Amino acid sequence: MVIDKLGRKILLFISHTVMGISGILLGIYFSLKGKHFVDENTLKTLGFLPILALCMFIIAFSLGSGPIPWLISSELFPAAIKAVASSAAATFNWLLAFLVTKFYLNLEKGIGGDVTFYIFSCISILGSIFVLAIVPETKGKSMEEIQRILIGQKEVKFGIDNPAFSK
């Protein structure tokens, strides 16, 4: 209901942005934790930060980046290729999830937990930009309207604004 009410694009944008912010907060916490000039009292005071960032991430992911790509992929692909294209998208999604899970500890050990979360944040922010620039809003649109948007045609105008009326 929330997705249909607010729209796919805005929820995806908010989701990626909040996930980026939560990653930055985690990066800041781990940066401070790794610095020797920050005393234990300051770290105890900021002890809520990782929990807050994690909760923000989970909520943002659940409202946008978790469900919406699956919904949009079913709306974007024409029936002739929907099964193959959706399967390919799902396989790519799970491959990337596997790679993140497999190599997170290596990355953390190699460059540090703070830098790792900064990288994840940059990827989320790039996702926000991608959503704004490329992802079409599919809320309330037919398959024909969505396909027209994807190939770059303008929306069909009805009424006196339609150029066909002036002929």
Structure confidence by residue, pLDDT tens digits, 34-76: 776 677 887 788 889 999 999 999 999 999 999 998 888 888 8
Determine, yes or no, domain membership for 161.
Answer: no
- Give the burial class of 64: count Cβ atoms within 10 A of its Cβ; 0-12 exposed, 13-18 middle, 19 or more buried: buried
Does 160 map to a domain? no
Distance CA 71, CA 2 (A): 13
Domain holding 91: CATH number?
1.20.1250.20
Please state, in angstroms and rounded to a whole number, the distance separating the CA atoms of residues 55 and 129. 23
Four-point Cα dihedral 141, 145, 151, 154, nearest 10:
-100
pLDDT band at 109 (very low <50, low <70, confident <90, very high): very high
Distance CA 122, CA 116 (A): 10
Whether residue 159 is contained in a domain is answered as: no
Q: Count of domains in the chain?
A: 1
Yes or no: say if 72 and 135 are a contact pair by the CB < 8 Å rule. Answer: yes
Q: Is residue 163 one of the residues assigned to a domain?
A: no
Q: Distances from the Cα of 157 to the Cαs of 33, 135, 145, 147, 164, in angstroms?
A: 58, 22, 12, 16, 10
* Span 104-123, average pLDDT: 93
Task: Give domain status of residue 125, yes or no.
Answer: yes
Q: What is the pLDDT of residues 131-159, one digit of tens each?
A: 999 888 888 788 788 778 777 766 555 54
Q: What is the domain extent for residue 131?
A: 2-154
Residue at 143 is within a domain = yes
Q: Would you say residue 126 has pLDDT above 80?
A: yes
pTM exceeds cut of 0.85: no
Q: Does the residue 119 lie in any domain?
A: yes
